[in-house]
Structure 1
Amino acid sequence: MPNKMSQEKEALLRALGAEVVRTPDDEPWDSARSHIGVAKRLRQEIRYGVILDQYGNVNNPLAHECTTGPEIIAAVVSTPSTPTKPSSLKVDVFVAGAGTGGTVTGVSRALKKEHNPECIVVGVDPIGSILALPERLNDESPKPYVVEGIGYDFVPQVLSRDPADIDHWVKTDDGDAFQAVQRLMKTEGLLVGGSSGSALSGALAWLKTERGQKVAQTEGLNVVILLADGIRNYMSKEWFLDFALGPGPPRIPQTTSDKGN
C-alpha cells in the first residue's frame, strides 16, 4: 500500500494476518516501485498469487450495477411522496467521487438503464487528479492532495468517462472537502472521511451551475450523494484529531508531497 494510507488500514490488514508492504507515494502508477508495480512483482513471486485488480476487473462496476444501484433505487422508490416532502420517486441526480471509477460507473448504469434514463450523474474528482472530463478541468500534470480514496494519475479501465454514463464532472479541493466532512459530522452525525466530504462539496458546487440550479429549484427532485467512506480508517490522521480534539477552530489540512490513491 502507498505510504499515504492511514495506520488504521494497515492495522486492520495486519490483524487479519496480512503482510503489508509500503510503497513510495511519489512513484508514478506504472513504475515498478509503485503499489501496482510491487503487486505485480509479488504475484509472480508468490505461489498461487492473485491480484483482484480493482482497476481493470469488470466485476468492480458490475457489482455496483447489480447491488449498490438497486439498493439506492429501492430506498428512493419506497420513500413516499408527501405534501410536505414531495418526491419524484426517482433518482434524479446521482453524485459520487471517482477512485477506480467502479462505483460511479456501475451505479450510473443501474440508474439509467431501466430506472430513470434522464438521471444526471455527476463525477467528483480532486484537484490534482486526472480523471475528470473535459481535459480542461484538469491541471497540466498530477499534483498532490490530502483526500484519500479518490483520484489517480492514470485512468482506470473500469472507469467509464463516456458522457452516456457520467454527465458532468466537478473538481474539488482539500479545503472544501474537509469542511464538508466537519459539516456532516456536526449537523448530521455522520462519521465520514475525506472522500465523502469531496462528494458533498462537489454536489453543492454542481448545484450552483446552470443545470444544477434548475434541479435545486424544482420541487420533488431527488439528489443522491454517495458517502463512500467512514472515519474508522482516518482517526489517527492529523486533520481529524485537530478537528475533534483541538481547542480552537479546526484547521484545514494542507496538501503534502503525497499523491492521491
Structure 2
Amino acid sequence: MISNVKSGIYDNVVEIIGKTPIIRLKKIEEYFKVENEIYVKAEFLNPGGSIKDRIGKYILENAEVEGKIDKGSVIIEPTSGNTGVGLALYAISKGYKTVFTMPSKVSLEKELLLKALGAFIVRTPTDIKPEAPNSYYKVAEVIRNLIIKKQKFLNDNELSEIVSYVQQLVRENKLDKLQNILNEKVENALFAYIPNQYSNKYNPLTHYEFTAREVWEQFNGKIDYVFAGVGTGGTITGMSMYLKEVGTVKVVGIDPVGSIYNLVKNGMKIEEALKQAHTYLVEGIGEDIIPATVNLDLVDDIVVVNDQQSFSMTRFLAKAEGILAGGSSGSVLFGALKYLKEKNVKGKKVVLIFPDTGRNYLTKVYNDEWLLKHNLEIDDEKILEVLL
C-alpha cells in the first residue's frame, strides 16, 4: 500500500511506477510545420527509465498470485535491457534473484545498469535465428533447466557458477552442449521462472489496464492518434484494445527496417518475411518472430523507419526539446511525422509513446564516433530535411 500518496511519500520504488506525464512537443511542431498537436507519453520518467517497469511489476505480481514464484526464486528473462530493469526493480523489493540474457547489440549501459541492480548477465550473438540454442531466447531456457535440476533455491555463488558456465558455452559456440541441456525435460518449479514477455498475457494486459487508461484520462478522451513502436507488441496491442473499446482512436505502429511486422501486416506469409529479415541497430522494437503478445489486427497501420532516421531524430529531439530519449523514441517521432505529412493529417491530437531514456545510449546514439563507425551520418538536420 502507498503510505501517503497525497504528500508523495512511498514505501518503495516500485510504487512510483506509472502515472507518467504528458509533454507537448511545441518546438518540433514549429520546426517541422506540423498542423497537429503532438504530445509525448513520457515513459522514460518511470523509476527504471522505461515503460517496461510497468510489465515487470504486473507480470511478477500475477506470477506470485498464481504460485509460480516465491522468495528465493530466480527470475530469468531474455531482454534487450528494459524489461530486465523492470523485473529487477520488483525482484529487489521481494527478494528474488535475477538473470538476464541479452543480444550482443544491446548497449553496455544497459548491461551495467542491470548488474548495478544485482542481476547476472549472459550475452549472446545477435545475428542468429530465434530457435538457435545460443539465441538469447533459448539461453534463458538453458539457465532455467540447469537451476531446476539443482532442486533447491540457489545462493549467489551457486547461481554465478551456472551463469559463468553458460556464458562460456555461448562464447565457445558449444551448440551441442546447449542443445543437450535444452532437450532435458524438467518440470516447472519455484526455483526458476521465465516470465517470457513474448508470450505472457500480462504484458499487453498491463497496457490495457494502466497505460491506455492513463492516456485516455489525461486527455479526457480527446485524442485522435496514438503512435508506438512494436517490439513484443504488448504496448501497442494492450493500448489499442482499450482505446478501441472507449473511442475511435487510430493506432499506428512503428517498425524498423529489418523487422518482419510491416511485411506480415501487409499480407506476407511469415516464412517469406523471415527471408527478408536482417539485423538493425535500434534497440527494443521490431522482431524476427511474431510473439503471442502482439495482435496486428488491432494496429491500424505501420510505418517503417530506418536506423539513420531514428538516430538523427533522437539526437535532434534532445537539442530541440531537451528530451533525452532512446533511439526507438526517435523512430516513433520520425514515423509519426512522416505519416501525418504523407496522409495530410491536420488539426488532430496525436500521442506518441516514448518508451525509454537516452541515458542507456550515450555511448551509441549520442556518440558521433559510434555512428561514424557504423557508417551513419552525424548531420542530423540534413537527414531530417526529408520531413520539411
- Give 5+ residue unaligned stretches, structure 2: 1-101, 149-190, 381-388
C-alpha distance in 2 between matches for 1:107 and 1:10:
29
Select which of 279, 289, 295 maps to 1:144: 279
Deviation track 1:153-174 (CA, whole Å, cap 9, x = no partner) reads: 1111100011xx1110111111
- Residue 107, structure 1, aligned to residue 239, structure 2: yes
Which of residues 51, 58, 64 is equivalent to 2:194?
51
Q: Partners of 1:171 and 1:139 in 2: how far apart? A: 16
Query: Matched residues in 1 for 2:316 and 2:296: separation?
Result: 30
More helix by share: 2
Amino acid at match of 1:43: R
Determine the C-alpha separation between the residues in 1 that align with 2:267 and 2:284.
21
Within the candidate set 262, 266, 286, 1:134 is matched to: 266
Contact kept in structure 2, 1:93 and 1:119, CA below 8 Å: yes
Q: Is the 8 A contact 2:312 2:378 kept in 1?
A: no
Distance 2:233 2:109 in 1: 23
The 5-angstrom pairing of residues 26-175 of structure 1 reads 26-47=127-148, 48-77=191-220, 90-114=222-246, 116=247, 118-132=248-262, 133-135=265-267, 140-162=275-297, 165-175=298-308
Instruction: Decide whether the 8 Å contact of 2:111 with 2:121 is kept in 1.
Output: yes
Is the Cα–Cα contact under 8 Å of residues 255 and 304 in structure 2 kept in the other structure?
Answer: yes
- Give the match's secondary structure for 1:200: helix
Between the aligned partners of 1:147 and 1:186, the Cα distance in structure 2 is 20
d(CA) in 2 for partners of 1:107, 1:30:
29
Which of 221, 229, 232 aligns to 2:359? It is: 232
Letter in 1 for 2:296: R
Q: What is the SS of the residue equivalent to 2:129? A: coil
Aligned to 1:46, what secondary structure does the other structure show? Answer: helix
Residue number among 304, 321, 339 corresponding to 1:206 in the alignment: 339
Does the CA-based 8 Å contact 1:91-1:111 persist in structure 2? no
SS at match of 1:154: coil
Aligned length: 227
CA RMSD of aligned residues (A): 2.1
Cα deviation code 1:129-178 (max 9, x no counterpart): 00121146x6842112110010111111100011xx11101111111111
Q: Would you say 1:191 and 2:324 are equivalent positions?
A: yes
CA distance in 2, matches of 1:53, 1:201: 30
CA distance in 1, matches of 2:207, 2:234: 7
Residue by residue over 1:34-84, the C-alpha shift from the partner in whole angstroms, topping out at 9 and shown as x without a partner, is 00010011111113111010000000000001111011112112xxxxxxx
What is the alpha-carbon distance in structure 1 between the residues aligned to residue 203 and residue 278 of structure 2?
26
Aligned pair 1:179/2:306, yes or no?
no
For 1:24 and 1:76, how far apart are their aligned partners in 2?
A: 43
Runs of 4+ in 1 over 2 A off after TM superposition: 249-252
In the alignment, the residues of structure 2 paired with residue 191 and residue 154 of structure 1 have an alpha-carbon distance, to the nearest angstrom, of: 30
Change (3 A) 1:104 1:141: same
| Higher strand content, 1 or 2 | 2
Which residue matches 1:83?
none
C-alpha distance in 2 between matches for 1:99 and 1:21:
21
TM-score by length of 2: 0.56
Q: In the alignment, what sits opposite 2:153?
A: none
3-state SS of 1:73 partner: helix
Tell me the SS of whatever aligns to 2:125: coil
Greater relative CO, 1 or 2 (CA 8 Å, sep 6+): 1
